[in-house]
Amino acid sequence: MSHYKFILSGGGTGGHIYPAIAIANELKSRFPDAEFLFVGAKDRMEMEKVPQAGYEIKGLWISGLQRKLSLRNLMFPFKVISSLWTSRKIIKAFKPNVVIGTGGFASGPLLYMANLNKIPSLIQ
């Protein structure tokens, strides 16, 4: 296989974003014809940092649970369902050879759907 397609997901903090970008840069140097797509959480810093590094990114409506009892936690199940559905659509449209997660809220739904679709998944 000469033309690879990679989806990378990591975000929320630089500790998830910058390793994902570094992995993409290394893969790009080894496979210059490869295609890359990042998936992150909407309204998080990855939505700014990843395009600055020269990569396309799509956002999921996902966040973590609040540690204290909060009305925002009532939205969590809907966010998970939405993120799973969106992840499935992204995977079906992009058809990656490999999905790589580096942590953050968006990695979970994406890696789960990749596994359901029997796409090799890696975590860092």
Query: For the chain, which ranges sit under pLDDT 50?
Result: none
φ, ψ (nearest 5 deg) of residue 111: -65, -35
Q: 60 - beta bridge partners?
A: 41
Q: Which domains does the chain have, with CATH numbers?
A: 5-123 (3.40.50.2000)
Residue pair 87/93 in contact (Cβ under 8 Å)? The answer is no
Task: Please state the pTM of the whole predicted model.
Answer: 0.92
Position 89 scores a pLDDT of 98
Taking the C-alpha atoms of residue 17 and residue 82, their distance in angstroms, rounded to an integer, is 22
Position 97 scores a pLDDT of 98
